Amino acid sequence: AQSVTQLGSHVSVSEGALVLLRCNYSSSVPPYLFWYVQYPNQGLQLLLKYTTGATLVKGINGFEAEFKKSETSFHLTKPSAHMSDAAEYFCAVSASTDSWGKFQFGAGTQVVVTP
């Protein structure tokens, strides 16, 4: 079974500062990992995903994440926060051995960007 833990339900960051959202996973098989963003009153949108290959993954809007197997982590970063980054962010994991993609989502991290 897979599970995801997102550290910090709320993160406040100043505009222009580093954004760091933490995600740790548990999986008995090689995982596939995803970060989604949810803006108010909208559905979830994919930011980036890791399946195989390069462990540093770049996504949309300047976000990137690094898969660290030894630390069972997939933290999301952005060098410089913008006001438009205010949203809720979800980390998700699926099992690479599954025949279909049952995603296990984390509880989410709400990001507030202050001027």
Partner 1 sequence: DAGVIQSPRHEVTEMGQEVTLRCKPISGHNSLFWYRQTMMRGLELLIYFNNNVPIDDSGMPEDRFSAKMPNASFSTLKIQPSEPRDSAVYFCASSLDGGARNIQYFGAGTRLSVL
Where does this chain touch partner 1 (CB under 8 A) — which range of 13-21, 30-38, 55-63, 66-74? 30-38
Q: Which is nearer to partner 1, 18 or 46 (CB)?
A: 46
Q: In what order do the strands lie in the sheet with 64-68?
A: 3-7, 19-26, 73-78, 64-68, 56-58
Q: Is 42 in the site for partner 1 (CB under 8 A)?
A: yes
Instruction: Give whichever of 14 and 45 is closer to partner 1, judged by the CB atom.
Output: 45
d(CA 6, CA 20): 11
18, 53, 22: which is closest to 35 by C-alpha? 22
Q: Is 90 in the site for partner 1 (CB under 8 A)?
A: yes
- CB of 17 or CB of 72, closer to partner 1: 72
- The reply on whether position 96 binds partner 1 by CB under 8 A is yes
* Helices and strands in the chain: count of H runs, count of E runs: 0, 11
User: Whole-number minimum distance, CB 83 to partner 1, in Å?
Assistant: 22
Q: Which of residues 44-73 bind partner 1 (CB under 8 A)?
A: 44-46, 49, 51
Report the alpha-carbon distance of residue 52 to residue 90 in Å, rounded: 20
